[in-house]
Structure formats: structure tokens, C-alpha cells
Chains A and B, each alone.
Chain A
Amino acid sequence: MGMFEEVLHDVREFVKAFPDEGKREFQSRDIPDRWPSGGNGNLVLAADTGVELGSPREESVSFALWSESDHAVRDGAITLIGPDLGEPGGRDLPYGKVVMVAGGGFDGKNDYDRYRELERARYDVDLEGYMIRAASLYQREWIRISRKALQKGLTFRTLGGALIGRLKKIEYVRKAEVLFITSSKEDVRRLKAIAGKAAMLVGAMSKIFEEPQMDCDECEYRPVCDEVTALKKMRESLGKERRKR
């Protein structure tokens, strides 16, 4: 089984459980205008903020997944569950975001670097009036959209389009899709439970890469490592490499 296949399946089931009228879908290919760049100064202070997503006082979750199967990801799809930016819902919204990509060439040695690269891509989304603070360690993302940007019409469609555009620049990414949740704290909490599974996989991957001397018998990630083929492959592949040195 691929690294994130089960988690991807859970995300699909999570989305499916929402009634159709609660979901909106956009296609990044259809986004007409380019939003101006924020230059180097994408700072949005509280007084200038129109809407705040996933602030430290709100529920927030953000994670990235990949699949080696092209069928698992709908290229360019942006799904939104909950109010869009600028729609009634309040200044502070809970926030969930899932990035899903399909790509090839994962060989057990490059997986961890690729994961980091996927996570880093969010910082390259440079839109005027959009500020991001994120912590992969806590799977949290905190977004501020300025009042001016809201007045000018910044929406999740633009935001998702910009993110997908950036992800598609990564050499091994063939398809990219993004899911946004702003509907309720409860929905974000349910997504967090799924994110927890992804965090276990990333934690195991991180440990395999960062701690070459680890003892598998003592390791807290052993159950996931034993279950997920991609992690087993990674452990064996890196083990061989280290023994060669």
C-alpha cells in the first residue's frame, strides 16, 4: 500500500459525507485573472484583517498527501466546504486544508525531502493581502486576509488556484488538488482525526530519516511502519544505503 492511500481514502469519505449543497467546486484552469503579488511584504496586522482562518484561538488543521496513482487525485480541483472569504460567517473562521498530489518516482530515499518540499510550497503563494503562518509540527495553518483584498474579491478559488499552480511547478507532481474547510469547528476537528493518521506516517518517515541509529523494537512508530509498505521500503532502502557507507 502506498504511503498515504488509506488517508486519502479517509479524506474522500469525509468529503462525501457532506451534502452536495454544502460543497462548492472550482477548477484552477478556469481562474481568469492573476491576483497581484504581495512583493516581499505580505504582513497583515490585526487592524487590517478582514478575515482570519485557523488562528491560534481557532481550530486549524493542514496537511499534504500524495499518491502514485493518477486516479486518486482530480487535477486542478478546488473543493470548498463552508463560507468563502468575504461571505458571512464571521471574521474568525476555523480552517482545514488538505493538499493532494499525484506523482511518480518515490524511491524510499527521496520521500522525506519531497514531503518537506510539498509543505514548503505554501510559502511561495504570494498574493497581495494574504499572510500565512504555519507550523507542520502542529499541523496548523493560520491565514489572514486583508480587508482590502476582500473588497477586491479574493476568494478560495484564487487562493486554491495559486497553490495548485505552485504545486504543479514541482517536477514530480503530475496532478494537484486542494480541499478547504471553513464550515465549523466540529468539521475541522473531524478532519484533524484524519490528519492524525498522516502525522503518524510523517513522524515515522521523519524518524527513519533523522535518526539513523534508531532501534525499531523500541520505536513508537513500529505499528505504522510494519503496516505501510512504503515505509517498510523506505526503512530497508535507507538501511542498505547506510550499511554500504
Chain B
Amino acid sequence: MKNDGKTRRIAVCGKGGVGKTSLTALMLKHLSGRKDLKILAVDADPAVGLASVLDVNVKKTVNDLRNEIIEKSRDREKIARQELAEAVDYKLFDALTEGNNFAFLAIGRPESEGCYCRVNDLLKEIIESLSADFDVVLIDGEAGIEQVNRRVMKEVDDLVLVSDPSAKGVRVAEALWNLVREQNAVACSRAGLVLNRVRDGEEAKGVMERTSLELFGWVPEDERLRRQDVEGKSFLDLPDDVPANAAVAGIMRKLGF
């Protein structure tokens, strides 16, 4: 993909425990090798799992910012929208953790009770505006795709549905795709399946016979990923010869990178 000034937004979703976060981290590792790209990695999982696998120190989450803004709004009952919007943008940029050619933003826990629609809408608007400054936005979503729409952005270019080879995982991926198609859970131009922790090509082929989803690719089971995770080491530091890296490179090629 050429850096042509248009931001490419990719959301990674799927059933809990299928390896969405590991896949997102590997995708980020691949993209961060492209020095012509600036990437925004968004961790939309309340447990900030992506931060852990990247060994990134989260300074502040979007939820922390939301609470600060609500507090500030209480101090001064009415703050002009322009003032509030630029304060949010300023604080959001400060909340980024920056790597060489990527920045990391954690969304944090969902908001507590109470209606803060003005603040929530503003935050989403500012995240979208911040995203436009980057070449690629990579979102590690929660299991529910509607959370991406509600808390990050309403539209993505590519939806990567992740599943392990289990029938249940694939069914959830199909259900997510149906939510997108039928209920417009998030607007997207293209969606496809990535099978994770697959034993071999035969197993991937067998799974694909049972689904109509487009296959973006499959990632082999990889002991070194597990070890990296157990040892708390960043996936960005994985050696390039790890088979999962080659598989993810193939997936990224399919996505046009």
C-alpha cells in the first residue's frame, strides 16, 4: 500500500480467547517495519490486553480522560464546544504512548453510569479526527463489534474476523459478520476471516469448507508466541523467522500492504 494520504482503518474482532490481541500485535509488528507508514494502534479491550503483549506502558486511557473532562465540566458549568474539543484533542494526544512509527491508544473500561453523551460523542469525534493524521489505524476490538462503533469509530475499511479452528469460534465470526451486514453494527468495506492457531493447511481447508466467509489467511500454532506471552516479552521483539510472522505478512499482503 502506498501512503496516499488516506487513512486505512482495520478492526480486529472475534470470540474471546481466539487470539485477536496476538494477531493485532503481529499485524502491528509487520506494519511498523514499514517506515513510510504512521500507525495508530487502538486497544479497545477494557482489559488493555494489547498493551500487555506489546509491553507498552499505558499512561492514560480514554476512559480516564472522559472522567477528567466530566470533572472539569463540573468546575465550569458551561464550556464552549470549541474549548472542550481542543482540550480533549490535547489530552488525547498526551495519552498516546509512542513507538518508532506508531502510537498506542487504550480505550479503557466502558463508562460508568450516567449520561455523558456530549463527552462520549466528542471523544469519538476526536479519536476519528486524530486517526485521520495516521496512515493506518489498527483496532483490537472487544468480542462485540458494536463496541468499536460505540467507543472508537463508526466506520472501518477492513474488518478482520478472527477465529480458532473450533466450530464455535467460526460461528461467532459469522454472527459478527451478520451483525455488520444486517444491522450495520459498524460500517465496513471489506471483511474476512483469519484462522488462528491452526495445525496445518489441511485443518484450515476443512474449516473453510464449513463457512462462506472469505479467508484472509491462517496463522499456525506457534510455541514461540506462547512463550513470548508467558515471559511477558513484547511481540514487537519476536524474531522475524517465527512462522506466525510469515503467515501475518501474507494476510497483510492480502489486505494490500
Contact = CB atoms under 8 A, between A and B. Distances in A.
A114 interface: no
A43 B38 contact: yes
Interface residues of B, number: 26
Contacts of A37: none
Interface string A36-60: 0001111101110000000010000
Q: For B87, B89, B90, B101, which residue has the most chain A Cβ atoms within 10 angstroms? A: B90
Interface in A198-223: 206-207, 210-211
B103 A45 contact: yes
Interface string B12-42: 0000000000000000000000000010000
Nearest to A206: B80
Given A43-B38, A43-B133, A210-B80, A134 B90 contact: yes
A46 B98 contact: yes
Interface string B96-110: 001111110000000
B79 interface: yes
A133 interface: yes
Given A45-B98, A210-B78, A137 B5 contact: no
A91 interface: no
A45 B72 CA distance: 28
B200 interface: no
A116 interface: yes
B137 to A, nearest CB: 12
Interface string A138-159: 1010100000000000000000
A224 to B, nearest CB: 16
Contact of A45 (B38, B84, B90, B132): B38
Contacts of A45: 38, 98, 100-103
Nearest to B97: A46
B98 A137 contact: no
Contacts of A9: none
A189 B165 CA distance: 61
B78 A137 contact: no
A203 to B, nearest CB: 8
Contacts of A39: 5
Interface in B121-139: 132-134
A45 B130 CA distance: 12
Nearest to A202: B83
A60 to B, nearest CB: 10
A115 to B, nearest CB: 10
B203 interface: no
A50 to B, nearest CB: 15
Contacts of B214: none
B90 A142 contact: yes
Interface string B131-164: 0111000000000000000000000000000000
Nearest to A144: B93
Nearest to A116: B82
B202 interface: no
Given A56-B94, A116-B82, A137 B87 contact: yes
A47 B100 contact: yes
A193 interface: no
Nearest to A137: B87
A229 interface: no
B237 interface: no
Contacts of B133: 40-43
B100 A211 contact: no
B209 interface: no
A133 B94 CA distance: 9
A119 B86 CA distance: 11
Interface string A174-189: 0000000000000000
B190 to A, nearest CB: 24
Q: For B79, B83, B134, which residue has the most chain A Cβ atoms within 10 angstroms? A: B83
22 contacts: A40-B132, A41-B5, A43-B38, A43-B133, A45-B38, A45-B102, A47-B99, A47-B101, A120-B82, A133-B89, A135-B83, A135-B86, A135-B89, A135-B91, A137-B72, A137-B79, A137-B83, A142-B93, A206-B80, A207-B78, A210-B78, A210-B80
Interchain residue pairs A-B with the least CB separation, the first 3: A43-B133, A135-B90, A46-B98
